[in-house]
Chains A and B, each alone.
Chain A
Amino acid sequence: MTMPIETPAGDSAAPGEDNSRLWLERLGASGPRRDAAVIELHALLLKAARFEINRRRASLPHLRGDDQEDLAQQSADDALLAVLAKLGDFRGEARFTTWAYKFALLEASVKVRRRAWQGREIPIAEDAWAVLANPASSTGAHVEDTELFGALREEIEGALSEHQREVLVAVTLNDVPIDVLAERLETTRGALYKTLHDARRKLRTALAERGFGIEGTREEAS
């Protein structure tokens, strides 16, 4: 499959050629050549940010068109700074435009999630226990499920640290976006995911020690 190519205007690239090298040359230049490349890069990032916000507009029912455009502009501005600061990290393993797009999509998705949760309290653990009390079973094994989910609640309350419990319950049971939780707890997505990962391992180990077979529980990412 041939990936679509964004050709920077003002410089030529052969049809079908990966113009990543051209982007890097222009962004590493000085004067008008670099200025033109930065403007084109911002336009590219703005396109990606608008795409992302449009995909997520259902989660922002109260946001007007002007506000959505403001969010897209802010996302493109922040992504531009990130891309220019990290140009040295570009390894050329994907197209430059694909590499740059991910910064705009990340900025836009995080801003949308945070806007959607603006002013909302993070649900507490007690709000989540109903999920464990009555998950819809596709197996009909109600007795076993009652025991399994009862054990899960006991281990969440007893085996995890307070911080692990807070993160696990918020992200996996109360559907709090990890970026929103990271902002409230003044940390990063990566640090919270590490906490979540450790909590999950503890739960798996504890359930296995209690004799529950829990292999093969997985969701598809795509």
Chain B
Amino acid sequence: MASVTYSHVTKRFGDFEAVKDLNIEIADQEFLVFVGPSGCGKTTSLRLLAGLEDVSEGELYIGDRMVNDVAPKDRNIAMVFQSYALYPHLNVFDNLAFGLRLRNVDSAEIDRRVSLVAGQLEIGGLLRRKPAQLSGGQRQRVALGRAIVRDPQVFLMDEPLSNLDAKLRVQTRAELIKLHQRLGTTIIYVTHDQVEAMTMGSRIAVMNAGVLQQIDTPANLYNSPNNQFVARFIGNPAMNFFDARLNGAIEEVSIEGPGFRLKIPPEMHARLWQELEREIVFGIRPEDIYLSDRIPRDIAGELVEARVDVVEMVGNEILLYLILGESGCIARVDPRSKVHIGQSVQLLFNMAKMHLFDKETGQAVR
């Protein structure tokens, strides 16, 4: 069983808390992605699992075994580093065989396993070369191969794609997903790129300043972010936020913001009745804002006036930077729209997709 459990794990460097009370249960064969801005603690969490850092408080389990004070080599894990960390003084074959040799696997078996993995990753022809003679993509595959050949219970990956150029990155992403399906091993993956996280993970753990913000499937993170940080972090361009107040009267609950007043659909009234008069943050994603003259048939919502500030033609859509009252927002609209700078337009906010957050705590209001 190769599940992984973080139980109240805290990591301190001197006075600085890099990871605060982390609690996560990762199931066997899951592909879990840690994502967050730099310094959020995602790499530290990975390194704690690898045994490269000591846990300050709490317990770490691989399977049923508590591994707090177990050497990295005894945890049955393999890791792919951001810089690949290939042994420069050894050729590719020796790099791949390194771990096996240390464990006294006999050389016939080593040959077999290395050839197998090299074949799968298409690096068979490079076995006699040294890392310095390989391209970035090839090195990355050798790093992967070195991990695979050890047949570990858990794979750890620390931003393995960030050193590749954009095109190679997309390609390798797909390969990694296929690899996961083929190997069926638990993978713990760290990245700062939310697109990577969303496309690859079966579940994503969003972290900020050492604290786990939310751990959920990509869809849930996108549709139901637990707090403002997650809402802003996931999705590109980021969600638009407006300071507002929740107002209520018998028939109508509305959001009053600078320069607009939005009525909330009746289905949601009951839930929000407790929160009236509250200072909130109203969030809506750019893709849920439409130009009034191009509203898809099944979408309804509230209309708002705004002025166009910048028009970015991206090809398959247009990004409109708008000024609403005193705030700015971004909308993704149909590429055929004809708008120009300075123009006043009417926007439709799809209220079914709205998000509300407490102004002080940032927690979602549901």
- Binding between chains A and B: no
Residues of A within 8 A of B (CB): none
